[in-house]
Amino acid sequence: MGKLIDVVRAYLKGIEQGNLEAVLSCYAPDAVQVEWPNRLKSKGDRRAIGQLSADFEKGKGLLAKQSYEILHAVESEGYAVVEVLWTGTLAVAVGKLAAGADMVAHSSIAFDFKDELIISQRNYDCFEEF
């Protein structure tokens, strides 16, 4: 894999470890993340770094742990896409799932880079029934 996929791996590992500093080190200061509509966010979301940081901390209260399995990854100059299987073990009940149950999403995440830092990110998340 290339350098950009290495940044994506570091970013995902930071999320898994609950390490906000590691996650933020992968982003440019003016980065934007777009989450397209899904079962958790019916209208989607668009966040700058400040909101990403706040939402990251909120997520720690909802999930006991989470993991990303990269199924496919491609990169070209300034661009990378990964297809991942995300599993989050819930700290609280969500829908039909009790605390301690796993929530699963099949996702593709597209990243644009400048100077090997993420400048934009688009998440396409398809959650399994919950």
From first to last of its 130 residues, the chain has per-residue pLDDT tens of: 799 999 999 999 999 999 999 999 999 999 999 999 998 889 999 999 999 998 898 888 899 999 999 999 999 999 999 999 999 999 999 989 999 999 999 999 999 999 999 999 999 999 998 8
DSSP designation for 37: -
What pLDDT, on a 0 to 100 scale, did the predictor assign at position 15? 96
Name the residue with tokens 């290495």: 6
> What spatial distance separates the first Cα and last Cα of the chain, rounded to whole Å?
34
pLDDT at residue 60, rounded to an integer: 84
Burial 11-50 (b: 16+ CB within 10 A, else e): bbebbeeeeeeebbebbbeebbbebeebeeeeeebebebe
When divided into structural domains, the chain yields a total of 1
Q: Please, which residues have CB within 8 angstroms of residue 77's CB and are 6 or more apart in sequence?
A: none
Domain of residue 23: give its range: 3-127
The CATH number given to whatever domain includes residue 17 is 3.10.450.50
